[in-house]
Amino acid sequence: MLTITKEFHFSASHVLDRLPSWHPCARMHGHNYVVVLELSARREDLTEAGFVRDYRELDAFKKWMDDTLDHRHLNEAMGGGISPSAENLAAWIFDLWIERFPELTAVKVSETPKTWAEYRPPR
């Protein structure tokens, strides 16, 4: 398999309101999020240009992220009813974009320079 990744950035607030009230993350706070999309293809399925998919086609994802998530409150932007943890955000993004990019194999989300969550569905 051949794998490509591209990194995207946005800033947003959230409240992890399912945590106990003593937990600092139960208070409103924000992060400079990093999202990495991973796309994969077999060698024989690469495009004529030798791409899994042209990185430039991922501009559509950047536009959606800027419109939907950047400088927003994730508890609202993700539609409510789901705790906006890094794990849930990664899975939510995957579910929204797998139809548009069938080569999508994983979504990674970082909230701080030290933390990463990854959603990679079972194959």
Ligand X SMILES: Nc1nc2c(c(=O)[nH]1)N=C([C@H](O)[C@H](O)COP(=O)(O)OP(=O)(O)OP(=O)(O)O)CN2
CB of 49 to ligand X, least distance (A): 37
Residue 19, Cβ neighbours under 10 Å: how many? 14
Residue 115: name its binding partner from ligand X, Zn ion, none (Cβ under 5 to 8 Å by kind).
ligand X
Pick the stretch among 21-29, 37-45, 47-55, 95-103 that binds Zn ion (CB under 5 A).
21-29
β-pairing verdict for 72-73 and 2-14: parallel
User: Does 87 qualify as catalytic in the annotation?
Assistant: no
The residue assigned the tokens 């959606």 is: 64
Are 33 and 12 in contact by the 8 Å Cβ rule? The answer is yes
Annotated catalytic residue: which of 7, 9, 23, 25?
A: 25
Query: Residue 95 carries which side chain, given as an amino acid letter?
Result: D
16 near ligand X (CB under 6 A): yes
75 near ligand X (CB under 6 A): no
User: Does 73 qualify as catalytic in the annotation?
Assistant: no
Q: Which of 45, 41, 36, 51 is nearest to 89 (CA)?
A: 36
- Interaction site with ligand X (CB under 6 A): 16, 25, 85-87, 111-112, 114-115, 117
Q: Which residues are catalytic?
A: 25, 71, 111
